[in-house]
A and B are shown apart, each in its own frame.
Chain A
C-alpha cells in the first residue's frame, strides 16, 4: 500500500496535459482553459514554479479574451473563451467558467499587468453583471447568442454564482459595496438561501450536494456574508458534512445490503448520502468544513483518515494522477481535486479561491 505522495509521477502526469494532445481529447477542445487551469494550479500547489516554466504563455492566454461590442462598436463587455476555436465574430461565446479559469491562470503565471488595466477589469465585471438572472438573482454561465442577456437555455445554479463572485473578487472587489457596483448582492444572497436543505447543506429542490454546498459557502465567504446563515443551519450543515465521511467502523459495518457502500472507502468523502466515496468530494467537504471553521486540532483524525484514503486508494503511483475511486483510470479533474484536498489538509491551499496560499491576488 502506497502512502507517499508520488510527486515526480504527478508532475509528469500534469505536464503531459499541457503538451500536444491526441485527437481523443478533441471533445474537450472548447474547455481547454479548464485543462490548462487544472494542470497549472496542481503543479503550482505541488511546488513547481509555473510562472517561470510557463510564463511565456501568458500572451497566448490573453488572446482568449474576447471583447463584445454593442451597437456603435463600443466595447461593452469582455470575457474569455475556453479555446480559440470559439473566437467567432458576431457571436457571444465567452463564458463565466472559462473567464475564471483564465484569470486564475494569469495569476498563477504572475501576469499582474493584466489586472492593472481598468478597461480589462471594468469590461469583464460588466460581463459578470450581465449573466445575473433578474428573476431570482442566480447566474447563468453564458450569454444569449446575439444579445447581452443571460442565456435562456443555460442552467443557473450555485456553481455559476460562485464563479461570478470569485471573478469579481479577482478583479478587485473586497467589500459588499464593491460587489454591489456590478451585481444585485441581496438577490444573490436570497437565491443562495433558497438552496438550503432541511437536513443541512445546499442543493436544488431540497437534495443536498457537497459540490453545491462548497460553492454556496465559498460565495458567502467571499461576500463576507456567512452571518446570513443561522447558527442552527450552520450546525446542521456541519453535521451533514461530517456524515459524508465514509467509515467501516462501529455500526457503519451494518450496511451489507447497501449497493453503494464499500468499507474500503473508509476515510474518503461522498458527495451525497449513501454514495461511494469519491476523490473530489474530499476537497468539497473539507473546504466547506474549513469555511465553517471546524478545522481545529480536534478534527485532525478526520483530516488524517481522508489523507490516507486519497494516498492509498485513489492515487495512481504508476502513471501518476488521482482517479475518482479505486476502479477508474486517473483523470485531470480528480487529480487536481485530490492534490487540492491534500494541500488543504497541509494548510498550504486557499480553498475558497482554489489557489495555493502562496499566490498573491492582492495587487
Chain B
C-alpha cells in the first residue's frame, strides 16, 4: 500500500522538518515508525513554507491515512484545494470538487468512526458551484445501514436536508429505519425534525398519531414512540390530550390507575408498558380532577413497574396535591 517512501519520490528536493523527541522529562514518548517520521517530516516542511501544490495535496491524503486525527492537516488540505481551484472555470471546479467528494467518501468508508470528515464535507459542499443531494444519499444510507444510530451521520443528514432544502425523501427514509428497528431513537427524532419543518396539516397529524399507535401496539415497552407521541401533542396539538389517546394508553396498563392504593390488600397487576403509565401520569397531572390518578400511576412506577427510578417517581408524588 505504501510502496515508496515520499523522500525517494516526488519530494526529493524537500528538506524534511524532523519531529523532535527524546527531550528531558518527556511524557508519552512514542516509538515512531520510519515511515511516520519521514512522512511527517516532509508534511511539516511543506506546511511551514505554505506550499500549495498538487503534490502537497497528495501528501495530505497520505498523512490523513496514517494519522486521521491530525486536525490541521485538514485545514492545510482545504487551503491547497482552494488555491488549486481558484483560476479554474466553473466546469473544471465542479470536476475538481467532485473528485474531492469521491476522495472523502472513500476515506469515510475506510474510517467510519472518524467524525472530522463530516464538517470537512460540509465545507466542500458549501464551496461547490453546483452541489447535488442525490450524490450524498447513497453514502449516507450505506453508513446508516452499517451503524444505524451513528450520531454524526444522522446530524450530517439533517444538515444536508436543510442545506439542500429538500425534505421529499425523508419521511419515507425515517419510516424505513423505524421499520428495520422500531427502537431506533435517531430515526424517531429524525422524523420529528422533518415533521416540524414540513408544517403538517391537521389531517396529516391525525394520520401520524395512527402511525405511532401501530408502532406502540407492535412493541408497547419502547420509550421512543411514547416520547415522540408526547412531542406530537406538544408541538402540533397544543398539548390537548383527547380521550382517544388516554384510552389508547390505558390499554397497556390494566387500569392500574383506577385501583385504590390506600387499600392494604391491593395487588398491582402486571402491565405491558411502564411508558404508557408514565404518559398517563403526565396527562393526569395536568388537571386537578385527575391528580389522584397521576399519583397512583407514579406509585405504581415507584413500587413495581420501574423501581430503579424510585426517587424520581416519589418526588413527583410529593409534588402533586
| Chain A positions near chain B (C-beta within 8 angstroms) | 17-23, 25-32, 35-36, 54, 56-57, 59-61, 63, 84-93, 95, 141-142, 144-146, 151-155, 197-199, 203-207, 209, 238-239, 242-243, 245, 247, 249-252, 254-255, 257-261, 266-267, 272-275, 296, 298-299, 301-302, 305
Contact = CB atoms under 8 A, between A and B. Distances in A.
Contact of B27 (A18, A26, A251): A18
B150 to A, nearest CB: 11
From B21, B79, B189, B231, residue with most partner A Cβ within 10 Å: B189
Interface string B17-41: 1011101111111111100100010
B76 interface: yes
A88 B17 contact: yes
Contact of B75 (A17, A18, A144, A301): A144
A259 B147 CA distance: 13
B163 interface: no
Contacts of A19: 28-29
23 contacts: A22-B30, A23-B31, A26-B67, A85-B44, A86-B72, A88-B72, A90-B47, A90-B48, A90-B49, A92-B72, A146-B79, A154-B71, A154-B116, A197-B189, A205-B154, A243-B223, A249-B307, A250-B304, A251-B221, A251-B274, A251-B306, A255-B221, A296-B311
Contact of B50 (A31, A90, A242): A90
B310 interface: yes
B306 A247 contact: yes
Which of the four size classes fits the interface of chain B?
35 or more
Contacts of A259: 181, 183
Contact of B28 (A18, A145, A199): A18
Contacts, number: 228
A153 B123 contact: yes
Contacts of B310: 301
Contacts of B305: 250-251
B234 A251 contact: no
B78 interface: yes
B74 interface: yes
Contact of B19 (A18, A85, A258): A85
Interface string B217-240: 001111110010011001100000
Interface of B: 17, 19-21, 23-33, 36, 40, 44, 47-50, 66-72, 74-76, 78-79, 115-116, 118-120, 122-123, 149, 151, 154-155, 158-159, 181, 183-186, 189-190, 192-193, 196, 219-224, 227, 230-231, 234-235, 271-275, 301, 304-312, 314-315
Given A23-B36, A60-B26, A60-B27, A198 B235 contact: yes
Given A21-B28, A206-B193, A207-B151, A145 B72 contact: yes
Given A26-B67, A242-B309, 11 more contacts: A29-B32, A29-B36, A32-B28, A90-B49, A141-B71, A142-B71, A205-B193, A245-B309, A251-B275, A252-B274, A252-B306
